[in-house]
Amino acid sequence: MIADREITFTVNGERVTQPVEPRQNLVDFLREKLGLTGSHVGCEHGVCGACTIRVNGLLVRGCLTLAVQADGAEVQTIEGISDSGEIAVLQAAFLERNASQCGFCTPAMLLTAAELLKENPSPSREEIRQYLSGNYCRCTGYQSIVDAVEDAACSVAGGTS
Amino acid sequence: MSGTKEMPLSIQDLPNSYIGRSVPRPNARRLMEGRGTYVDDIQLPRLVHVAFLRSPYAHAAIESIDVSAAQRSPGVVRVVTGTEMAKHCTPWVGVLTHLKGLKSAPQYALAVDRARWQGEPVVAVVAQTRAQAEDAVALVTVEFKELAPVVNMETALDPATPVIHPKLGDNLAFERRVEAGDVDAAFATADVVVEETFHFGRHTGVTLEPRITLADYNAGDGKLTVYMSSQAPHMTKHILAEHLGLDEDDVRVVCNDVGGSFGIKIHTYPDEMSAAALSIMLKRPVKFLADRLESFVSDIHARDHRVRARLAVKRNRITAIEIDDLTGIGPYSVYPRTSGVEANQVVNLTGAAYDFANYRAHCRVVFQNKNVMCQYRAVGHPIAFSVTEGLVDAAAAKLGMDPAEFRRLNLIADDAYPYTAASGLRFEKLSHQKSLAKILAMMNYDALRREQAALRNNGVYRGIGLAAMIEVTNPSAAFYGVGGAHIAAQDGCTIRMDPTGGITCATGVTEQGQGTETMVAQIAASAVGVPIEKVRVVTGDTDTTPYGGGTWASRGTGIAGEATLQAGRALRANILEVAGALLQSAPTGLDIRNSVVVDAGTGTERMTLSDLGKTVYFRGNELPDGVRPELVATRHYAPRAYPFAFTNGLQACWLEVDVETGFVKLLKYWVVEDCGTIVNPRLVDEQIRGGVVQGIGAALFEHCIYDDQGQMLNASMADYLVPMAAEMPDIEIGHVETPTAESVLGAKGAGEAGTAGAPAAVANAINDAIGVLGAKVTAIPATPQRILKGLGKIDKGQ
């Protein structure tokens, strides 16, 4: 077995230095070592999207990223992005539309929706559906999620005009 | 409108009623911040992890097992084989007495001597981390001797086919026949007979959170606490105690947040039983979490039916239906609900929306060497309605009649109730005709037909599919309890008021995201007379909730909602009795509105609930003599007049088939649903939408594909297709409300209707689109390959 390696990186603005097993993926490290359990593990092969986290400003699959790859990186999880208020409008829209049932996909869905609105502040329903297709949801049937993202886009646009 | 003494206000008309309001789910907020508590989020001291060596073969004798290398592997705590596990966990048999003749064999937590499906757990390895446990699993050596697998259900009963459980004599698990009226005469004298064979692929639930169990045995007090992702904590508590040799009162099951269930997380799984047994053996917490590859070969599968069916019509009226259903359930009937229920439902439900008298049904349930099959969302319904609605469309086509008009002529009339169906089901009150009229108006049916015809001239093939359906909800003890299962049909609610005036409800039903806690809070707030913000709801813990059945068969609102209403009324009466004594007023002249005791007639505020609470709990000396305050009440409720409160509905699908590629594009979807009193319209609509999309998954994508050796070929999330956002249509929903008269609340269930009807609506729409080309698809999922085959463009594939 390969020996642990020490990594230093920033998680939700906090500096973390810890030894990690080279084979451990980033989402398991965040969940098990740092107690950041908001990122979920749904398939461990990069399909369902539940483990989505933000590394250096870009969304990655936490199950396909090794923790050692995060050495020196800036990592943000649903906990940090909730606390900063960055996605408060989306969260309010999700609550209002009941765009979350069991909630297992929801943190990742919110991160993906936030990235979409950053790239495209007023997406069509078709564009929202396309963009969210890398995130599986088994409960909602997606319509309420599309509605919520649409509402959030409108409310952001309304707020800035 | 003000309430008079003769006519008390209904729950909907109370001044501050939440019934019928789309209240957002208060418990969803933490889930959106990643602050839920799913089982895998729980960390316990001295926690160890179990991983399983699973049979790589569908059918094999276990000749020898060598665990020595695994035992030496880093971090390994214990390696256990089937023989040893059997000393700690007794086997179970999935039979119920009311399914007459149903048989099955003892199923062990770990296979003993023989493995009977690819994925069956054979050896358990416990280690400090999951990764270490998996490392050691790879070091276990099992000598398997491959045996001939029974894969094809069509030949499972042939004399030449090996018998999976020799002691059972054959591979037939269950068989049932129903005969009503004079079927042969009806077919002999029919104007039109249509006949078809339908195939339904195996699929599975794919809960986004995999199955997980964290068992924590405390040797000090002999108590076992099990954190599970489960729908039925009380049932599970009984099963754990029964098979692990514990007193049932020493077992506690806790279900916090559950990441989707859909019927997957309500069965007895060998890996989860093993984890609990290992916790007792090791006297420390043990966690089992299925990884996704394990989920596909160990979560129960569903459907897998072949139905031969025919329907007779005389003078435009359906006169008879005959079906022959064959289904393969894997090597065991699943415990404790059994695997006979789905076929039984197909027999009960086929044709049940229509008015006809002559019915013959035969079902056979056979063993095979594939993963086990059991109850998943809308048990049996999609099969029954796909068969019925497929035949109905075929009959309409043969008669040259519009399919909507043919349904109007044949659906049970709205004034025909109470009505007993040919299969024997009894309906209290349904609204098929009203629902049909409503959905045709919603979808602008005639205009859609014109659009379809116009586009066809341009080579665009669009189809409209209609499906009428009913749904089994609010099951009474007739479903399981009568057959000997410890599955509660009743459910309860304990509701109490604290010194703050705050209300806490504890209920036996559970939350998996459908909004159970919101529903309970809405009803409790309305019944007591407090703002919903003052209500807390506790679910999922067998130590703190009333004994109940949990969440399945669309029973939460209809049964636990009624118990909550009754408990809330009782608490309200208790509060008003105390208030009357303190205020020297007759309790009947008082009311509770917005957490304040008021004069019922004038609305004048007399006392806040918080003041009343503080008086009761802290200053009992101020209470008049003889007043014994009980600011808590418990009520239980179970339906009795009818075995089930059936709902009904219509679904409609509008889609386009690309006749060159076989791809289907869903354009729009409509549902009209009658689930009685609606407590929270948004939550009901979202249950229906989510259900429809799971039904669309079955219709177009989802399929557990097995080869002829019993190997599942697409057991990964990448290869097993589920609906994604881009492919799904917008779904418009309308309602008819026919409350059940059996309860005060009048609510029926809504959780499974979408899944029940969608496969029929989608399949009918596909056939409506390609029928003009002489093509037809009668197997789901209706993949591009099957559609192209139906169109005669390719000749391979099934």
Instruction: Tell me the DSSP string of B735-784.
Output: E-----TTSSS-B---SSHHHHHHHHHHHHHHHHHHGGGT----EES--H
Q: Chain A partners of B38 at a C-beta cutoff of 8 Å?
A: 37, 40, 104
B695 lies within 8 A of chain A by CB: no
Answer for the pair B492, B539: CB distance below 8 angstroms, yes or no.
no
Q: What is the rounded average pLDDT of the residues B523-550?
A: 97
Q: What span, in angstroms and rounded, lies between the C-alpha atoms of B722 and A140?
A: 13
**pLDDT of B796:** 56
**pLDDT of B795:** 81
State the pairing for strand pair B426-427/B419-420: antiparallel
**pLDDT of A159:** 61
**With a CB-CB cutoff of 8 Å, which residues 234-263 of chain B face chain A?**
257-262
Per-residue pLDDT band at B10 (split at 50, 70, 90):
low
Q: What span, in angstroms and rounded, lies between the C-alpha atoms of A137 and B473?
A: 25
Q: Chain A partners of B671 at a C-beta cutoff of 8 Å?
A: none
Per-residue pLDDT band at B780 (split at 50, 70, 90):
very high
Chain A interface disruption, residue of B129, B208, B295, B668, most A CBs within 10 A: B208
Task: Report CB contact under 8 Å: B38, A79.
Answer: no
DSSP structure class, residue B536: E
Q: Chain B partners of A146 at a C-beta cutoff of 8 Å?
A: 725
Q: What is the rounded average pLDDT of the residues B179-208?
A: 98
DSSP structure class, residue B154: G
Q: Which of B40, B258, B291 faces A102 most closely, judged by CB atoms?
A: B258
Task: Report CB contact under 8 Å: A37, B716.
Answer: no
Task: Report CB contact under 8 Å: A105, B208.
Answer: yes
Chain A interface disruption, residue of B23, B25, B32, most A CBs within 10 A: B32
Q: What span, in angstroms and rounded, lies between the C-alpha atoms of B553 and B479?
A: 10
B721 lies within 8 A of chain A by CB: no
Nearest CA of chain A to the CA of B35: how many Å?
6
Q: Chain A partners of B513 at a C-beta cutoff of 8 Å?
A: 100-103, 139
3-state helix, strand, coil in chain B (%, to 5): 30, 25, 45
**pLDDT of A161:** 36
Task: Report CB contact under 8 Å: A101, B690.
Answer: yes
Q: What is the rounded average pLDDT of the residues B538-542?
A: 97
Question: Residue B629, Cβ neighbours under 10 Å: how many?
Answer: 19
Answer for the pair B388, B760: CB distance below 8 angstroms, yes or no.
yes
Nearest CA of chain A to the CA of B131: how many Å?
9
A18 lies within 8 A of chain B by CB: no
Task: Report CB contact under 8 Å: B131, A95.
Answer: no
**pLDDT of B2:** 40
Nearest CA of chain A to the CA of B178: how many Å?
36
- 3-state SS of chain A is CCCCEEEEEEECCEEEEEEECCCCEHHHHHHHCCCCCCCCCCCCCCCCCCCEEEECCEEEECCCCEHHHHCCCEEECHHHHHHCCCCHHHHHHHHHHCCCCCCCCHHHHHHHHHHHHHHCCCCCHHHHHHHHHHCCCCCCCCHHHHHHHHHHHHHHHHHHC
Question: Residue B730, Cβ neighbours under 10 Å: how many?
Answer: 17
Task: Report CB contact under 8 Å: B725, A130.
Answer: yes
Q: Chain B partners of A77 at a C-beta cutoff of 8 Å?
A: 34
pLDDT tens-place string over residues B610-628 = 999 999 999 999 999 989 9
**pLDDT of B754:** 97
**With a CB-CB cutoff of 8 Å, which residues 741-770 of chain B face chain A?**
754
Q: Is the pLDDT of residue B450 over 60?
A: yes
Q: Is the pLDDT of residue B8 over 70?
A: no
A37 lies within 8 A of chain B by CB: yes
Q: What span, in angstroms and rounded, lies between the C-alpha atoms of B236 and B152?
A: 33
**With a CB-CB cutoff of 8 Å, which residues 78-117 of chain A face chain B?**
78-79, 82, 91, 94-98, 100-107, 110
Per-residue pLDDT band at B11 (split at 50, 70, 90):
low
Q: Chain A partners of B716 at a C-beta cutoff of 8 Å?
A: 43, 45, 47
A–B CB contacts, 8 A cutoff, strictly below: 174
Task: Report CB contact under 8 Å: A82, B513.
Answer: no
Please name the residue of chain B whose CA is at the shortest distance from the CA of residue A82: B33
Chain B interface disruption, residue of A21, A84, A143, most B CBs within 10 A: A143
- What is the pTM (predicted TM-score) of this model? 0.97
Q: Is the pLDDT of residue B485 over 60?
A: yes
Q: Which residue has the higher pLDDT, B769 or B1?
A: B769
Task: Report CB contact under 8 Å: B38, A95.
Answer: no
Task: Report CB contact under 8 Å: B33, A103.
Answer: no
Nearest CA of chain A to the CA of B717: how many Å?
6
Q: Where are the alpha helices (DSSP H) in B466-560?
A: 516-528
Burial class (CB in 10 A: 0-12, 13-18, 19+), B583: middle
Q: Is the pLDDT of residue B51 over 90?
A: yes
Q: What is the average pLDDT value for chain B, to the nearest integer?
A: 96
Q: Is the pLDDT of residue A160 over 90?
A: no
Phi, psi (5° rounding) for residue B453? -65, -40
Q: Where are the alpha helices (DSSP H) in B480-560?
A: 516-528
**pLDDT of A158:** 72
pLDDT tens-place string over residues A116-133 = 999 999 999 999 999 999
Task: Report CB contact under 8 Å: B725, A35.
Answer: no
Answer for the pair B296, B210: CB distance below 8 angstroms, yes or no.
no
Residues with Cβ within 8 Å of residue B638, at least 6 apart in sequence: B476, B477, B489, B490, B491, B559
The residue ranges of DSSP E strands in B269-428, in sequence order, are 286-289, 301-314, 317-328, 358-366, 419-420, 426-427
Q: Is the pLDDT of residue B180 over 60?
A: yes
Answer for the pair B377, B755: CB distance below 8 angstroms, yes or no.
yes
Answer for the pair B469, B385: CB distance below 8 angstroms, yes or no.
yes
Please name the residue of chain B whose CA is at the shortest distance from the CA of residue A41: B209
Please name the residue of chain B whose CA is at the shortest distance from the CA of residue A134: B724
Q: Chain A partners of B40 at a C-beta cutoff of 8 Å?
A: 31, 37, 41
Nearest CA of chain A to the CA of B20: how many Å?
16
Q: Which of B28, B261, B754 faces A103 most closely, judged by CB atoms?
A: B28
Q: Is the pLDDT of residue B739 over 50?
A: yes
A60 lies within 8 A of chain B by CB: no
- In percent, the amount of chain B with pLDDT more than 90 equals 96
**pLDDT of B13:** 62
pLDDT tens-place string over residues B12-48 = 566 679 999 999 998 899 999 999 999 999 999 999 9
Q: Is the pLDDT of residue B55 over 50?
A: yes
Task: Report CB contact under 8 Å: B730, A94.
Answer: no
pLDDT tens-place string over residues B264-295 = 999 999 999 999 999 999 999 999 999 999 99
A135 lies within 8 A of chain B by CB: yes
Q: What span, in angstroms and rounded, lies between the C-alpha atoms of B525 and A141?
A: 30
CA-to-CA dists, residue B765 to B137, B466, B655, B691, angstroms: 48, 7, 7, 18
* Residue that is written with structure tokens 């001239």 in the block: B457
**With a CB-CB cutoff of 8 Å, which residues 409-468 of chain B face chain A?**
none
Nearest CA of chain B to the CA of A1: how many Å?
10
pLDDT tens-place string over residues B348-382 = 999 999 999 999 999 999 999 999 999 999 999 99
- In percent, the amount of chain B with pLDDT more than 70 equals 98
Q: Chain A partners of B292 at a C-beta cutoff of 8 Å?
A: 42-45, 48
Q: What is the average pLDDT value for chain A, to the nearest integer?
A: 96
Q: What span, in angstroms and rounded, lies between the C-alpha atoms of A26 and A9?
A: 12
State the pairing for strand pair B596-599/B590-593: antiparallel
pLDDT tens-place string over residues A38-75 = 999 999 999 999 999 999 999 999 999 999 999 999 99
**pLDDT of A156:** 80
Answer for the pair B538, B504: CB distance below 8 angstroms, yes or no.
yes
Per-residue pLDDT band at A155 (split at 50, 70, 90):
confident
Q: Which of B31, B694, B726 faces A130 most closely, judged by CB atoms?
A: B726
Task: Report CB contact under 8 Å: A100, B726.
Answer: no
pLDDT tens-place string over residues B574-619 = 999 999 999 999 999 999 999 999 999 999 999 999 999 999 999 9
Q: ipTM value of the model? A: 0.97
Nearest CA of chain B to the CA of A72: how many Å?
24
Per-residue pLDDT band at B547 (split at 50, 70, 90):
very high
Q: Is the pLDDT of residue B734 over 60?
A: yes
pLDDT tens-place string over residues B675-727 = 999 999 999 999 999 999 999 999 999 999 999 999 999 999 999 999 999 99
**pLDDT of B621:** 92
Q: Mapping DSSP to helix (H, G, I), strand (E, B) and coil, where does residue B683 land? A: helix
B134 lies within 8 A of chain A by CB: no
**With a CB-CB cutoff of 8 Å, which residues 468-527 of chain B face chain A?**
512-515
Nearest CA of chain A to the CA of B262: how many Å?
9
Q: What is the rounded average pLDDT of the residues B512-524?
A: 96
Q: What span, in angstroms and rounded, lies between the C-alpha atoms of A129 and A132?
A: 5
Return the bridge partners of B64, or none: B143
Return the bridge partners of B328, or none: B366
